[in-house]
Amino acid sequence: MAGNTGVLGRAFENGLTAFGAAAGRVQATLGAWTRVPASTPAVEPPVAGPPDLDRAISELANRLVRLGRYWALSGTDVGEIWRAAREARRQSFAGFPWRWRLLLQLPLSLATLCVQETLRVLHAFRMVGLRVGPGFFVEMCETFLDLWVYQSLQYREEMQRYRKRLAKHPDDATARLHLARSYVKCGLHAQAARELEVAAQSPRRRPRALYESVIANYRGGNFDLATRQGTSAMAEGVVTERMKYWTWLAAERNGGYPTATPPEHRLEMASGRHPTSVRFEEVGSRIGLNKTSGGRGSAVLDFDGDGHLDVLLAGVSGGCGLFRNNGDGTFTDVSVGSGLDECINPWGIAVGDYDNDGLPDVYVTRLGFYDGENVLYHNNGDGTFTDVTREAGVAAWTPGFTSSWVDYDCDGKLDLFVPGNLGGLFHRSPPGRLFHNNGDGTFTDVAAEAGLRHLPPTVGTTWGDYDNDGYPDLFLSGFFGRPKLFHNNGDGTFTDVSREAGIDAPCLGMVACWCDYDDDGWLDIVQFVWCRNEDMIYSYLRGEGPPGGEPLRVFHNNRDGTFTNVSRELGITESWGTMSGNAGDFNNDGFLDLLLANGGPQMDRAEPFVVLENDGRRFRNVSFTAGMPVTGKWHGANVADLAGDGRLHVISASGGMYPGDLLTTSVFRPVELTGNYLNVRLVGTKSNRDAIGARVKIVAGGREQHRLVSGGSGFGCLPCEQHFGLGRGQVADALEIWWPGGGKQRIDRPPVNATIKIDEGRTEFVLVKKGPSPL
Amino acid sequence: MSGIARPDSRQRIGGTVPDLELPVVTGGIRTLESFLDGRRGAVVLFWSSVCSHCIRYDELLGEWESRQPEVALVPIAAREGETAEQVRQVATERGFRFPILHSADGAAAAAFQAQQTPRAYLVDGARTLLYRGAIDNFKYPHDPDYRAYLEPAIAAFLAGRPIEQPETPSFGCAIRSVYYELPKPLS
């Protein structure tokens, strides 16, 4: 099985890690001796160039690889290569006043970088390398190299390189092919199709050009042409899984295959057909949440304290969009002038009331795969937010996929955890930051003392108390290394227990969440996993995962500090390129279902939104029976009862990495209320006001259900409101709350089909809203 | 830059937008009022010559005069740091014949609270803000969910009807971003 490494592999990895750490220590000692400032967690963008040697070497490596890629694709002369390399070196080392001293450290810095890169490649090969050729790695490299080019709007320069080459060598089909691909990335599909027609005349490039032509025409809305092109290309012998898949997608949009498509080139979808009681309808435009953008994170919060759940959407092709709930589940865009609209290039959102004033504040990370300035916005209570990043001391320049609010020391004040992801092919693992809340609007980074400074590149971060000792523990999921589990020792320090806990087999990990899927009172972990395109296509069409594939992981809590991955036992085998996911009881049957928002940055990646329904024993893919769309590119999956009527909405900020890969935010709502429900809002008085970290148990119909109030788990941030599905006709016997500070509270016979609010320490609840009963 | 008054802290539909007095990239200075002269309204369009989303609207901008003869087009090259020379070069490449204003110091964007390009503001002859947001919800050609926003708003305004959707969320390239200040990846 992927990720199952041998003793030798583990020993090699441990040896490399130890070597890298030793080299780092020697470098630090040498730096102190030669009075070269050590590398510190970056706060400011390096406008004048990288601030230290480690970053400069990484920067130079990234630049040289990027230049190498364009030379390979567009060709150039030796003089130009030399000039470009000199310029790359100059920019990478700009502003260094002590070069001779740096020379002593250079080999050590290179060694630490090589160790990190080797470990990443090792992990990646464990995942996919034995089953596939270099294609996966080439695609991943292209994504990393493109990101900065498109972010800094240098797509024109990229195209000009290809055009310049073609002006001199019009027969260079490689340059023409990649010019066309750049057009597709910018949404210029007609130009792309024209170039691809020419490129396809080259016998060597014809198969790829024909495939790209199908993509260009599909994305250009010419589904009929794309279908015919795919059919004709396959008749020529260009038969690949991807070609079949995109021809099928085009045929689906065009009303079916043409008669010319032979049976062996046709596909049928087998996934997502299990029967279900829930049926979704898309209501984004109807309720005013249809923001078109390169959507990323989403958050559900009550920013104005009116009791209705509002929505914040992060769109990387635009700023943050703030949408106020009109009280009936429809929304008004109140972004302009809110201050959040100025937050350009946002990625992940974490919402938490750090000053306990009853108004949720917002922390935003930028560009998950490239460095960005994180921002903390204080909620002023009048519909505006103020950037207080500097005053609060939470500034960070880091590739920020995710962050989360947590009261890790249970002092009643929310702290902020900010790990970093990988920001470039040759970036080093960024430092983790744990900002302790000082209680006066300022924070102190205590990551080093806590043992959370040196972390692998992290995509998903989620906090939950797995051993029920009252302190939240930390699970980290990453794309380039092993997952991590840190036990909270309760004294401000953390211990890495990943290996003993049995959760550290590497995978292409994305976001993760704690949830008690089997309602045994012990939190389990769901780690969402990305996969290569072919594995997704295999799963989509066959309704089961490929041999050696990696489905999402459900780590069952064994109640003894260890976990067992039981996803296959639970019937989950399909591989998806999951970028975001969450849990929620969509059919109100009392069992937590899972939601997988899938996709990938490449222009030839389109995937369905997957709903895995839990019947108490197994999870079944009910996506298409439930009415979810066939394809898309989904991010920021969020789950909330936006209308307060018991129906959990699925919200997904959607869109891709490239400007030509736009989508609109989707909101899927169950058509009917299929079971009783209870929504519970907690207000901490001794605990943090949001009650983040609280555990809620409901007893109904002879069984228990458990929920955790989460402070963010990936792209988005779930509402603090907890939703319980109770099945048809069930009433609730009791509700128990375990507050983050340790206090316990019980409410007997709470109402059903209602939203209630419970203040910490008060035995009575407040009825916020009485909702409808199921039909 | 002179000639732009600071607006209210929160620009509102139905409020008055400030007048503009900005250089034209090909020379001279124009005010928003001068564009409104003899027209029933104007569309102030925050735009950039390097914006990877603005490129989708070249055809609309090129045909503006014939499509919307009663409403002036006021494109403002607004991205911070974008030079007039860059804009002129791109305008020539793409065959634009209309005047393009230039505000690369962020003042015009700040006055209109615009954060990204393209972003459109429809005003009447008294500079009353009637619509702000995206031109449309374009994702790809022939999209069955495609909806134009700006031109229907103009049509409603010209016909004296209420504008059905006076605000839409806009998306596009950041007008101001630290990424534009960092060393370029392809230099």
pLDDT at A374: 94
pLDDT at A129: 67
pLDDT at A92: 79
Chain A stretch 184-213, residues whose beta carbon is closer than 8 A to a beta carbon of chain B: 186-190
The rounded distance, in Å, linking the Cα atoms of A625 and A277 is 9
Strands B173-174, B116-117: pairing is: antiparallel
* Residue A245 CA: distances (Å) to CA of A234, A541, A605, A693: 12, 9, 10, 43
Tens digits of residue pLDDT in A277-307 = 899 999 998 999 988 878 888 999 999 999 9
* Cβ pair B169:A91 closer than 8 A: no
The rounded distance, in Å, linking the Cα atoms of B92 and A483 is 53
Of B11, B53, B56, Cβ closest to residue A336 = B11
SS (H, E, C) chain B: CCCCCCCCCCCCCCCECCCCEEEECCCCEEEHHHHHCCCCEEEEEEECCCCCCHHHHHHHHHCHHHHCCCEEEEEEECCCCCCHHHHHHHHHHCCCCCCCEECCCCHHHHHHCCCEECEEEEEECCCEEEEEECCECCCCCCCCCCCECHHHHHHHHHHCCCCCCCECCCCCEECCCHHHCCCCCCC
Span A402-431, mean pLDDT? 93
Answer yes or no: are the C-beta atoms of A697 and A735 closer than 8 Å: yes
pLDDT tier at A608, thresholds 50, 70, 90? very high
Burial A373-395 (b: 16+ CB within 10 A, else e): bbbbbbbeeeebbebbbeebbbb
The lowest-confidence range among A58-62, A502-506, A607-611, B69-73 is: A58-62
- Residue B148 reports pLDDT greater than 60: yes
Measured at the CA of A184, the angle between CA A180 and CA A186, to 5 degrees, comes to: 115
Burial A326-360 (b: 16+ CB within 10 A, else e): eeebbbebbbbbbbbbbbbbbbbbbbbbbbbeebb
3-state secondary structure at position A287: helix
pLDDT tier at A714, thresholds 50, 70, 90? low
Tens digits of residue pLDDT in A465-507 = 999 999 999 999 998 889 999 999 999 999 999 999 999 999 9
Span A554-561, mean pLDDT? 98
pLDDT at A95: 64
State chain B's mean pLDDT as an integer. 91
Q: Which of the residues A145, A152, A347, A630 would you substitute to probe the B interface, choosing the one with the greatest number of B C-beta atoms within 10 Å?
A: A152
pLDDT tier at A635, thresholds 50, 70, 90? confident
Cβ neighbours of residue A547 closer than 8 Å, sequence gap 6 or more: none
- In DSSP notation, A216-249 reads HHHHTT-HHHHHHHHHHHHHTT---HHHHHHHHH
Cβ neighbours of residue A217 closer than 8 Å, sequence gap 6 or more: A189, A193, A223, A225, A226, A229, A250
pLDDT at B7: 45
Task: For CA atoms B165, B171, B177, B181, give the dihedral sign.
Answer: negative
Span A69-83, mean pLDDT? 76
Tens digits of residue pLDDT in A387-415 = 999 999 999 999 888 899 999 999 999 99
pLDDT tier at B51, thresholds 50, 70, 90? very high
SS (H, E, C) B4-16: CCCCCCCCCCCCE
N- to C-terminal Cα distance for chain B? 30
Q: Which two tokens stand for residue B75?
A: 């494109």
Tens digits of residue pLDDT in A679-708 = 999 999 999 999 999 999 999 988 999 999
pLDDT tier at A82, thresholds 50, 70, 90? confident
Task: For CA atoms A148, A151, A157, A162, give the dihedral sign.
Answer: positive
The rounded distance, in Å, linking the Cα atoms of A499 and A772 is 48
* Cβ pair B138:A344 closer than 8 A: no
pLDDT at A548: 84
Q: Which of the residues A55, A74, A317, A657 would you substitute to probe the B interface, choosing the one with the greatest number of B C-beta atoms within 10 Å?
A: A317
Task: Using CA coordinates, name the residue in chain B closest to A662.
Answer: B139
The lowest-confidence range among A615-619, A653-657, A664-668 is: A653-657
Span A548-568, mean pLDDT? 96
- Residue A330 reports pLDDT greater than 70: yes
State chain A's mean pLDDT as an integer. 91
3-state secondary structure at position A481: coil
- Residue B9 reports pLDDT greater than 70: no
The rounded distance, in Å, linking the Cα atoms of A707 and A722 is 7
What is the complex's ipTM, to 2 decimals? Answer: 0.90
Chain A stretch 661-680, residues whose beta carbon is closer than 8 A to a beta carbon of chain B: 662-664
* Cβ pair B141:A221 closer than 8 A: yes
Output DSSP code: residue A32: H
Phi, psi of A71 (to 5 degrees): -65, -40
pLDDT cut 70: percent of chain B above it? 95
Q: Which two tokens stand for residue B66?
A: 């014939």
A219 touches chain B (CB under 8 A): yes
Tens digits of residue pLDDT in A185-201 = 999 999 999 999 999 99
Identify the residue whose tokens are 């080139």.
Answer: A265
Span B83-104, mean pLDDT? 94
Chain A stretch 370-399, residues whose beta carbon is closer than 8 A to a beta carbon of chain B: 373
**Number of residue pairs across A and B with CB atoms under 8 Å?**
128
Tens digits of residue pLDDT in A193-228 = 999 999 999 999 999 999 999 999 999 999 999 999
Q: How many CB atoms lie within 10 A of CB B48?
A: 28
